[in-house]
């Protein structure tokens, strides 16, 4: 899978599937189940390291997990999160992104919009593929009380939309939309040529992403409404991943009850 193929998927109306992975065994299983994108998410700070947020994840953490995941994959596009404070300025962003690319990432993901214009310009000018991330930005969340739906009022919705248009104009390859109303996600997805990948953003995004442990029902605490436990209907992890792929491709996940 290449970043150019993602645009073809969108043009042809094919839904894009994405799951996180943090180790070689899970990455190999997900890759072999036909998932289009594997995200090495800084969510590893919580699901792997046991922290209350993603801010403690370091570049060395991301480099390590990117390397072991990428070695296990043969077909999926590999996106690696740029961790908290790894892209405070253009020079550090380029250096850190190149480190993740060297470890096997095909693309890096950055949270935020217009505030990172110079950074994203620098990455694109160095031919580094970038995935944007708008809506809820986990790197700004300190504890669970900060996980709230974004873009509910007109002003914040217009900011998310305008940031999406800006990021596309800068040359990003894809855009993650997290925890925003489904009608806003639909509006953004229809406006942009690049594919949108939703998590808690409704059915009308061009693709869907979930944390692998969430969709297997093995994370603690109350799950957000957009998470479906695919292990409930399947007897194996491979079966659950295949069910996720099938239901995203068929447009049956997420349902209305799993959207905002």
Cα dist from 203 to 44, 73, 174, 193, whole Å: 26, 27, 17, 17
212 closest CA partner among 232, 236, 241: 241
Place of tokens 């690319």: 101
DSSP characters for 171-205? Answer: T-SEEEEES--HHHHHHHHHH-SSPEEEESS-TTS
Q: How confident is the model at residue 143 (pLDDT cuts 50, 70, 90)?
A: confident
Proportion of the chain above pLDDT 90, given as a percent: 92
* Mean pLDDT computed over 90-95: 98
**Whether 158 is catalytic:** no
Whether 151 contacts 157, CB under 8 Å: yes
Given a cut of 90, whether residue 144 has pLDDT beyond it is no
Phi, then psi, of 112 in degrees rounded to 5: 110, 170
* Mean pLDDT computed over 128-144: 92
Q: How far apart are CA 177 and CA 197, in angstroms?
A: 6
Phi, then psi, of 118 in degrees rounded to 5: -65, -40
pLDDT digits (tens, 9 = 90+) for 199-225: 999 999 999 999 999 999 998 777 889
Domain covering 3-258 in this structure, CATH number: 3.20.20.60
The DSSP symbol for 112 reads B
Domain ranges in the chain?
3-258
On the 0-12 / 13-18 / 19+ scale of CB atoms within 10 A, 253 is buried
197 closest CA partner among 10, 2, 66, 69: 10
pLDDT digits (tens, 9 = 90+) for 6-45: 999 999 999 999 999 999 999 999 999 999 999 999 999 9
Whether 12 contacts 33, CB under 8 Å: no
Question: What 3-state class would DSSP assign to 110?
Answer: strand
Question: What 3-state class would DSSP assign to 156?
Answer: helix
Average per-residue pLDDT in the chain?
A: 96
50 closest CA partner among 213, 164, 240, 236: 213
Q: How far apart are CA 198 and CA 181, in angstroms?
A: 11
Phi, then psi, of 28 in degrees rounded to 5: -65, -40
Catalytic-role residue among 178, 234, 247, 250: 178
Given a cut of 80, whether residue 145 has pLDDT beyond it is no
Q: How far apart are CA 87 and CA 225, in angstroms?
A: 31
* Mean pLDDT computed over 107-114: 98
* Mean pLDDT computed over 75-90: 98
Given a cut of 90, whether residue 197 has pLDDT beyond it is yes
Supply the pLDDT for residue 221.
75
* Mean pLDDT computed over 159-183: 98
Q: How far apart are CA 128 and CA 109, in angstroms?
A: 11
Q: Which two tokens stand for residue 231?
A: 């292990």
Beta bridge partners of 78: 38
* Mean pLDDT computed over 63-69: 98
């Amino acid at each position: 899978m290449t970043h150019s193929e993602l645009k073809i998927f969108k043009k042809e109306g094919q839904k894009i599937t994405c799951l996180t992975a943090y180790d070689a065994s899970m990455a190999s299983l997900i890759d072999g189940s036909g998932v289009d994108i594997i995200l090495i998410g800084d969510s590893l700070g919580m699901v792997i390291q046991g922290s209350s947020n993603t801010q403690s994840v370091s570049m060395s953490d991301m480099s390590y997990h990117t390397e072991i995941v990428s070695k296990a994959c043969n077909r999926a596009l590999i996106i690696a999160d740029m961790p908290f404070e790894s892209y405070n300025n253009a020079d550090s962003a380029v250096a850190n992104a190149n480190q993740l690319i060297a470890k096997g990432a095909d693309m890096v993901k950055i949270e935020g919009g217009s505030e990172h214009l110079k950074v994203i310009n620098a990455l694109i000018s160095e031919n580094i593929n970038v995935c944007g991330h708008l809506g809820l930005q986990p790197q700004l969340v300190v504890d669970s009380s900060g996980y709230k739906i974004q873009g509910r009022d007109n002003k914040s919705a217009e900011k998310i939309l305008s940031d999406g248009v800006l990021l596309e104009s800068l040359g990003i390859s894809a855009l993650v939309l997290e925890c925003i109303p489904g009608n806003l996600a639909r509006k953004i997805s229809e406006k942009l040529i690049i594919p949108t990948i939703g998590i808690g953003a409704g059915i009308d995004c061009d693709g869907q992403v979930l944390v692998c442990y969430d969709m297997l029902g093995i994370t603690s605490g109350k799950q957000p409404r957009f998470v479906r436990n695919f292990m409930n209907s399947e007897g194996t992890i491979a079966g659950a991943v295949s069910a996720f792929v099938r239901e995203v491709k068929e447009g049956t996940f997420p349902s209305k009850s799993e959207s905002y």
